[in-house]
Structures are given as structure tokens and as C-alpha cells.
Structure 1
Amino acid sequence: MTTAIASKAIETPQEKLAAILDSHQPKSLLTISLNPVPVADHWCQDHDCELIHIQEQNPFQALEQVRRVDLAVIADQLEYMSQRDGESLIGLLRNLHTDSLVAVYQPHLAPEKLRWPHNGFLALGCREEGHFAQEGRELDIYSYDLDDYNFRRNWNNPRFWANPQNWGKYWW
């Protein structure tokens, strides 16, 4: 009797980012990175997507000129910002520029005093999409999507309401 063991192919950060782009299918994409993001460039070329790229140490002034986009990708940026500035950047993007964003973070590139704790992204409503470690390097991918960052609760429906006939009629 032989048993076949299914082996999962090792997913790279580039493949993960491409999968996220495929799942969102953005028509406009904003990248904030000190270096080019080749996956985003290729994806936009192949899918007729408008690409806006901000490549500045302090991206806040450049963001004033950017309109609303379908998806934002922050890569190779947060490592060189304080956590407070990084939180401000993510908050600004979520509140004014997009409903969905992806943060690619390499903790060991950041100086010790600028390094984010693991729960720093989770506290902003992000989900961990993947952790990649290879040859002493680490990379984490987090995502935020307004449509699903807050899960639906089983108890929040008319069945558990004191007066089910009034469900959805009144707002206090």
C-alpha cells in the first residue's frame, strides 16, 4: 500500500502579493516604496491598471496630490519611519485614499528603535497574510480591507433582538 503525500509548493512573497492583486483586481493601484515594486509594475502592465508610485522618504506631501485608488501597497517604506509616522500613513491611506491596502514589512531592515511589534499591524485592523523567512531575512505581509476587517457576529441579528419586529427600523 502506497500513500501519496501532497506537498505544498513554497509560496514566495512575490507570489503572495500577486495573488492579493489578483483577488482585488484593482483598476488603480498606488505604491508607496523607496524602491520599485516589480510585482505591482508587471501586474498593472498585464491588467490595464493605472499605477501611481510615490518614491519619497516622507510620502505625506506627495499623497496630497493623489486621488482615491482601488488598492494601495506600502513596501520598503515603513522600515524607515517611526511607528507613529507609519500608523499615520496607514490611517491616512485607509481614511482618504483607499478601502484596501497591503503592507510589506521587513522587520530586520528597520533600526531597533524603529522596529514595529508584531501586533502593531494587527492593532490597525490588518490581517497577517504571510510570514516569509529565508537566509536570515524575514518579511511579513499584512492586508487591510474595509469590507471584511470587522467580522460578522452571530448574535447581531433580529433573532437575538428584544423586539425583532423593530430590527433595522430605529437608530438611537
Structure 2
Amino acid sequence: MSNTSIVTTADALSAALNALSPATFSLYSDDATLVAIAKQSSAGHCHSASPHPLGIELPATDLAVVDADIALPAEELTELLARLRDLLARQVLVIAPTQAQTTFNHAGLIGLGFQRWTSPGAEQPERRWYRFDIRDYKSTPDWLNARHWANPELWDKYRW
């Protein structure tokens, strides 16, 4: 039996912020404990379900942390995650919901491009965490390089 203890979500958030050390970050959560941790940092912005986060101008940020238990319908939470992932954040962390949901289960988050993630110092979190970072989302295939683009070896053989 392992001696590792379950790490609270608040402790896991603190560990994630320490590990990633973003210059700016945004937290989307209704959890008062998580909001208190975010407010301790001068780099953090906090957003809850009220006012509606999709109805306001959201800031661009280095890291966005989204608590999937936020009081938003599944479709709007999916839209928020997509907007953060595609436009507003360099990295996005999602704290998986405490309740079983069909939208934000493991397969649903993988389908949105997220990868299972464990923060250094929080190896046994009470909730699952998922991460999206465009820098390591997809490895560059070996064929995708300048050598293969215009087929320069065929320039003198064929006329297009």
C-alpha cells in the first residue's frame, strides 16, 4: 500500500501555479478556495459563472485554469474551453468534474485535444487534471520539412 496521500484540489492548483509559473493566468471557477488561491497572486484573474464568462471580453493569458464544476451548461463550458484553447491562452488546465458527466469525462476532454496531466508535487490529486499546450500538442512529422515541399529534384525532369 502506498504512503502517498490524496492532494486537495486547492493544493494541486498551488502546485500547478508553482510548477508552470505563468506571468499571467485566469481561473474560471465558482469554488471559493480556488478563487482565494488565485487572488493571492498578482498575476491572476478570477472569473465565475456570474457574470457569464462568454458574455464579457476575456483577457489573453499565459495559463487558463478551468474548473469543470463551474455553474455553466455543458455546451457553454465546451465553448469556453475551445475559445481559451484556440485564441486566448498559451496553456489550458481543466480540473475534471467531481460528478460523472458525458461531456467532460476522459474521452470528452481527450476529444477536445487535452492530455491527462499531473502537476509536480501533486501526484495524487482528488480530481483529475487535463492540460492543453499548443507547443507539445502534436509532434512535427519527419516529412514536414523544406526538403519535401517543392520536389526540387523534379524541376528539370517535368514541366508543370
TM-score (norm 1): 0.65
Contact 1:71 1:99 in 2 (8 A): yes
Structure 2 Cα separation of the partners of residues 164 and 104 of structure 1: 49
Aligned to 1:51: 44
| CA distances 1:96-121 after superposition (whole Å, capped 9, x unpaired) | 3212111112242x6x6x65332111
The one-letter code of the counterpart of 2:73 is S
**Cα 1:146–1:115, aligned 2, differ >3 Å: closer, same or farther?**
closer
Gaps of 5+ in 1: 1-6, 167-172
Instruction: Give me the CA root mean square deviation.
Output: 3.3
**Which residue in 2 is equivalent to 1:96?**
87
2:138 to 125, 150, 156: 150
* Distance in 1 separating the partners of 2:68 and 2:111: 20
Provide the residue aligned with 1:127 in structure 2: 115
1:53-73 per-residue CA deviation (whole Å, 9 max, x = no partner) reads 1122532123x1x32111111
Q: Report the residue type matching 2:27 in the other structure.
A: T
CA distance in 2, matches of 1:115, 1:124: 10
Q: Distance in 2 between matches of 1:100 and 1:21?
A: 12
Aligned twin of 1:82: 73
Counterpart position of 1:18: 14
Letter in 1 for 2:136: D
| CA–CA distance in structure 2, aligned partners of residues 157 and 8 of structure 1 | 48
Equivalent position amino acid for 1:30 in 2: S
Residue deviations 1:81-104, cap 9 Å, x none?
Answer: 333222101011123321211111
Equivalent residue number for residue 169 of structure 1: none
Deviations along 1:13-34, whole A, 9 cap, x unmatched?
A: 4454334323332111111111
Instruction: Look up the equivalent residue of 1:68 and give its one-letter code.
Output: A
Q: Secondary structure at the match of 2:104?
A: coil
The higher relative CO (CA closer than 8 Å, separation ≥ 6) is in: 2
Q: Which residue number in structure 2 is paired with residue 170 of structure 1? A: none
TM-score (norm 2): 0.69
1:150–1:19 distance in 2 versus 1, CA, 3 Å: farther
CA distance in 1, matches of 2:151, 2:16: 42
SS of the counterpart of 1:139? coil
Q: 1:8 to 1:145 in 2, by over 3 A?
A: farther
